[in-house]
């Protein structure tokens, strides 16, 4: 049996085992010297480099050169550097049996997260630190590759992280929903990755990440008790939150939302809106038919206009703390049945008592419903028919010819042409054919008309109070009703005017003077004159036969209210003028103006709203308070077209020809040649065209 054997193997252990088999000894009976480590880099063409060890029987060590033995014993000391928990130590020999017998000349390695090294007299191992770990050699931070010696003191520091779990329970503002918000904690720890002995080690770090879930069910229950949560608890969501590994929100309790009721409302059964339609082209001749431009709704007597629905109460809710959530109180809708309208079936149905156009005005929970009377003139308006004035709508199915005047408190609809005439409406004016050499005005009653309407309102209030006073006198035992039956109310009226209603005569005089003035201007219809006559006869002249009883005064008040309601309707509704073509006209409107056909030539337009011209705008002056849009403006051979809007508004022109002048505020521009797609506005004090 040989006492010294050199053995090879795929690795150190295989080489040792092979040598022990040859020597028929155990590992404890030999001393091991590592001559060569295996090297897998040689795989391929040359094969792997084997591990080589020398085994010496311990009883034969005495025969070995004492100097060599001393070296071997020195080299068997293996250093321990540091574990991965920020622990530091001097380089030392590893104490297990394997390390005692292994000699790694000039090597460094990592085992169980600790650094070991051994230098020789001619070679020192080196390490390169990782950017995820701080290594201190003899108190100094290693930033680059450095040499190690067994006597060096190394310290390893990891940036371990720890975040504790956090959670909270919150209620929404109504306490209908309770939300558990969970953010799991975590622990991040690092350790060095084990490495085989090598002359140089590029240190590697392993990250171990662990989620921290410490929330307990009893903690959640306790917090819910503190908040008073006892209704609509969602157990499944609580269980999900207990095992959550990601941040999240969990609805752990749901109350019951209150359900708001519905306020009272009116279900309208008629169309009360006038519809402006696009002009249609006649297939036979290719011309545009403007007769279909407007759809005017109409109702007859006895027509059911709408159904009044009462409010529906809501349902109370409940918070997650068991408290009741009240609903928003509901309110009745107040319906004022005005001219031409009555309420039936215990005030639940709105029915027309006159023919005309249904008019509806809704604001908040107040609805005003009336039937606007309509005068239908089936032929032309000319000298033979005379002028038309009406306290409502006027629909003219023919033309309006030279020298005539048409005035309506509300709307005017004309199926034919208008030539050398004056038209005035309170609200809308819609003309289906061309307009030439005429004056159109909508929503711009003159001062006298407006003053008449205001005085009508005051008269209505004063006369209602006057009627109440008359009825009180009737009930007095000292007053003989038999005398009133013979003589009328004139004597009683005189007494009340002298004692209690001293201002009423002067108000009636003011009204009568305005009626006379408006009559001379030919802007007044007959009902104003009738009211003025009745007031003068009954209250100023004190004609005994004018008012026989209080009912006759009430009848006059009803007539005043009808006129006043129509006046207020004309003031509240949006005025609008729509024509297909205008030439040499004056057009003014408190609202929008639409020229939907060929356009307008040499006409002056003044609008407090928006102006839209689908065709041409040649000559004339246009002012639009809220902006203008035109297809084509100006004419190289014609007169200048001037377009003006206030600062802050815009002008849009698809084709702006020469002789077009636009002005926005104080800034203006004149076009000297055709320019297209103009969008003019003022920005930063400059007039921009595009």
- Asked whether residue 89 carries a pLDDT value surpassing 70, the answer given is no
Contact by Cβ (8 Å): 154, 81: yes
- E strand spans, 365-438: 366-372, 374-377, 388-390, 393-396, 405-408, 412-414, 418-419, 422-425, 428-431, 435-436
CATH 2.40.50 fits 265-372, yes or no: yes
* CA 623 – CA 609 distance, rounded (Å): 9
Nearest to 212 by CA among 247, 170, 249, 251: 247
pLDDT above 70: residue 415: yes
pLDDT tens digits for 179-229? Answer: 999 998 888 888 899 999 999 999 998 888 887 777 889 999 999 999 999
Cβ neighbours for 497, distance < 8 A, ≥ 6 positions apart: 504, 505, 539
Placement of tokens 């159109």 in the chain:
440
Q: How far apart are CA 414 and CA 418, in angstroms?
A: 8
**3-class DSSP state for residue 510?**
helix
508 bridge partner residues: none
Secondary structure (DSSP) of 177-216? EEEEEEE-EEEEEEEEPPEEEESEEE--EEEEEEEE----
Least confident among 239-253, 274-288, 488-502, 565-579: 274-288
Check residue 59 and give its pLDDT.
Answer: 65
Query: To the nearest whole number, what is the mean pLDDT of the chain?
Result: 83
Contact 357, 297 (CB under 8 A): yes
**Residue spans in the chain of domains classed CATH 2.40.50:** 265-372
User: Of 198, 196, 203, nearest to 133 (Cα)?
Assistant: 203
43 alpha-carbon distance from chain centroid = 70
For 587-593, which contacts have Cβ atoms below 8 Å and span 24 or more sequence positions? 587/439, 587/440, 587/441, 588/440, 588/441, 588/442, 588/444, 589/429, 589/440, 589/441, 589/442, 589/443, 589/444, 590/442, 590/443, 590/444, 591/442, 591/443, 592/626, 593/624
Q: Is the predicted pLDDT of residue 590 greater than 70, yes or no? A: yes
CB count within 10 Å of CB 138 equals 11
Q: What is the reported pLDDT for 521?
A: 55
604-640 confidence digits (pLDDT tens): 999 999 999 999 999 999 999 999 999 999 987 778 9
CA dihedral 270, 276, 282, 285 (to 10 degrees): 150
The pLDDT of residue 61 is 44
Residues 290 and 430 sit within 8 Å (Cβ to Cβ): no
Please say if the pLDDT value at position 94 is more than 70: no
Residue in 348, 323, 326 with CA at minimum distance from that of residue 337 = 348
> Tokens 């171990």 belong to which residue?
208
Q: Cα(192)–Cα(205) distance, rounded to whole angstroms?
A: 5
Is residue 517 predicted with pLDDT exceeding 70? yes
CA dist., res. 10 & res. 505, Å (int)? 132
DSSP 575-619: PEEEEEEEES-EEEESSEEEEEEEEEES-EEEESS-EEEEEEEES
264-295 per-position pLDDT tens digit? 999 999 877 766 666 666 566 555 555 556 67
């Amino acid at each position: 049996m040989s006492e010294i054997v050199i053995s090879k193997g795929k690795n150190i252990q295989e080489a040792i085992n092979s040598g022990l088999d040859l020597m028929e000894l155990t590992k404890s009976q030999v001393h091991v010297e590592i001559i060569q480590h295996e090297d897998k880099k040689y795989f391929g063409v040359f094969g792997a480099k084997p591990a080589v060890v020398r085994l010496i029987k311990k009883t034969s060590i005495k025969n070995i050169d004492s100097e060599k033995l001393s070296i071997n014993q020195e080299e068997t000391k293996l250093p321990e550097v540091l574990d991965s928990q920020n622990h530091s130590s001097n380089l030392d020999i590893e104490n297990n049996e394997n390390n005692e017998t292994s000699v790694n000349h000039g090597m460094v390695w990592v085992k169980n997260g600790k650094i070991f090294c051994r230098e020789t007299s001619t070679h020192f191992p080196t390490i390169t630190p990782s950017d995820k770990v701080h290594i201190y050699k003899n108190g100094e931070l290693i930033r680059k590759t450095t040499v190690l010696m067994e006597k060096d003191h190394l310290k390893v520091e990891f940036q371990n992280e720890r975040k504790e779990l956090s959670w909270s329970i919150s209620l929404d503002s109504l306490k209908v929903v309770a939300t558990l918000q969970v953010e799991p904690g975590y622990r991040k720890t690092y350790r060095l990755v084990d490495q085989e002995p090598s002359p140089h080690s590029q240190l590697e770090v392993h990250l171990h990440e662990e989620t921290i879930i410490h929330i307990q069910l009893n903690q959640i229950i306790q917090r819910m008790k503190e908040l008073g949560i006892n209704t609509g608890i969602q157990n499944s969501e609580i269980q999900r939150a207990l095992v959550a590994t990601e941040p999240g929100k969990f609805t752990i309790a749901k109350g019951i939302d209150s359900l708001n009721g519905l306020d009272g409302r009116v279900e309208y059964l008629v169309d009360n809106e006038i519809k402006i339609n696009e002009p249609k082209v006649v297939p036979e001749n290719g011309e545009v038919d403007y007769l279909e431009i407007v759809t005017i709704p109409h109702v007859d007597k006895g027509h059911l206009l709408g159904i009044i629905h009462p409010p529906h109460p809501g349902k109370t809710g409940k918070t997650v703390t068991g408290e009741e959530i009240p609903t928003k109180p509901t309110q009745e809708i107040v319906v004022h049945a005005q001219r031409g309208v009555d309420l039936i079936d215990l005030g639940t149905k709105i029915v027309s008592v006159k023919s005309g156009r249904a008019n509806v005005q809704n604001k908040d929970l107040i609805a005003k419903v009336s039937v606007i009377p309509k005068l239908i003139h089936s032929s032309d308006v000319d000298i033979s028919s005379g002028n038309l004035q009406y306290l409502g709508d006027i629909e003219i199915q023919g033309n309006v010819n030279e020298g005539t005047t048409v005035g309506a408190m509300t709307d005017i609809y004309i199926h034919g042409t208008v030539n050398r005439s004056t038209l005035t409406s309170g609200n809308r004016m819609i003309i289906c054919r061309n307009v030439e050499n005429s004056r159109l005005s909508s929503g711009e009653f003159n001062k006298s008309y407006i003053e008449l309407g205001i005085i009508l309102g005051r008269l209505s209030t004063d006369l209602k109070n006057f009627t109440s006073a008359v009825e009180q006198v009737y009930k007095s035992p000292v007053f003989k009703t038999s005398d009133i039956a013979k003589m009328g109310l004139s004597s009683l009226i005189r007494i009340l005017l002298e004692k209690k209603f001293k201002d009423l005569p002067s108000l009636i005089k003011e009204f009568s003077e305005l009626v006379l003035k408006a009559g001379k201007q030919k802007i007044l219809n007959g009902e104003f004159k009738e009211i003025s006559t009745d007031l003068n006869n009954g209250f100023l002249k004190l004609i005994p036969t004018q008012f026989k009883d209080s009912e006759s005064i009430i009848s006059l008040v009803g007539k005043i209210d009808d006129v006043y309601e129509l006046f207020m309707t004309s003031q509240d509704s949006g005025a609008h003028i729509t024509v297909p073509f205008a030439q040499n006209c004056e057009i003014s409107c408190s609202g929008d103006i639409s020229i939907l056909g060929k356009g307008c030539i040499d006409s002056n337009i003044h609008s407090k709203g928006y102006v839209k011209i689908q065709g041409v705008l040649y000559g004339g002056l246009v002012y639009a308070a809220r902006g203008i849009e035109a297809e084509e403006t100006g004419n190289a051979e014609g007169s200048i077209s001037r377009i003006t809007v206030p600062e802050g508004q815009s002008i849009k022109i698809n084709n702006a020809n020469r002789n077009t002048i636009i002005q926005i505020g104080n800034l203006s521009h004149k076009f000297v040649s055709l320019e297209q797609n103009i969008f003019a506005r003022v920005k930063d004090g400059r007039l921009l065209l595009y």
